[in-house]
Chain A
Amino acid sequence: MKFAIQVNEGPYQHQASDSAYMFTKAALEKGHEIFRVFFYHDGVNNGTRLTTPPQDDRNIVNRWAELAEKFKIESMTKDEGGNEVVQTELVVCVAAAQRRGIVDEGEAKRNSKDATNIHPRFRISGLGQLIEGAIQSDRLVVFGD
């Protein structure tokens, strides 16, 4: 089955991100496909590379990135020059990210910010990516309150 996953809560504050991770991991290990993981509301905080949890705790951000790496949660797309490139499908909502200060290079430039904090295994994109995920997948599974 093809799944789209929506994560609505931030890491550590709320179990939703852990549950979404475990569901996604279990689905992939059973041979299912994850079309996209979409991070919305405070869920966008799962995408900052600057997170530093205590050493004896799980690193939620890196754990998502490692899962995406291992199971290739990604798709093919074309860059500006028309060349085929691989893009990650851990997607952070741009509107929610702007409110909460999750920034990539494009956003930093557009909004004159002096830093970025997005993890390289994540990308920032629009809400249309959530809608598309729901259309293209057999199931949209939402994690959050």
Chain B
Amino acid sequence: MSEIIKKFLYLNRKAPYGTIYAWESLEVVLIGAAFDQEVRLLFVDDGVYQLTTGQDTTGIGMKNFSPTYRTLGDYEVKSIYVDRDSLESRGLTKDDLVQIAWEDWETEEEIENIVEVVDAARVSELMEESDVIFSF
């Protein structure tokens, strides 16, 4: 769709519910897949809650959109990073997060889980390496 290929970083900073930022950010990622860019997602601060398993929204009457994250591998997303400090300061570990698989349909290359926990230095690098940061 475009001859220019840029490194996109979607920076997710907000809890999944309480505000609409997380859900509408996910919508940008899904639509953006059609543009064949190099896409990475980074979750920091309360944004790490977006990837937690066992979300139950029945008490707040809102749609539970967490299953959508598991399909991101089908939307041109090959790398998902989670900030370690944000996880640890909320009492969470990698075991609390969904696993997201990725497969290249042409080469049949498979990655079982593209979710990676990274330290603050890597978070800085990821931002530095990106051409565009979509901040939500």
Contacts and interface: CB of A to CB of B under 8 A. Distances in A.
Contacts, number: 47
Given A135-B4, A135-B37, A40 B24 contact: yes
Contact of B34 (A41, A128, A136, A145): A128
Interface string A103-145: 0000000000000000000000011101110111000101011
A35 B40 CA distance: 24
Contacts of A95: 24, 27
Interface in B25-69: 27-28, 31-32, 34-35, 37
Contacts of A130: 28
Contacts of B133: 140, 142
Nearest to A41: B24
Contacts of B31: 126-128, 131
B135 interface: yes
A134 B21 contact: no
Interface string A1-42: 000001010000000000000000000000000000000110
* Interface of B: prevailing SS: mixed
Given A41-B21, A134-B6, A134-B8, A127 B135 contact: no
Contacts of A145: 21
Given A131-B32, A131-B35, A135-B6, A140 B132 contact: yes
Nearest to A139: B132
Contacts of B34: 128
Contacts of B35: 128, 131-132, 135
A136 B34 CA distance: 15
Interface of B: 2, 4, 6, 8, 20-21, 24, 27-28, 31-32, 34-35, 37, 132-136
- A-B pairs with the 4 shortest C-beta distances? A127-B31, A134-B132, A131-B32, A142-B135
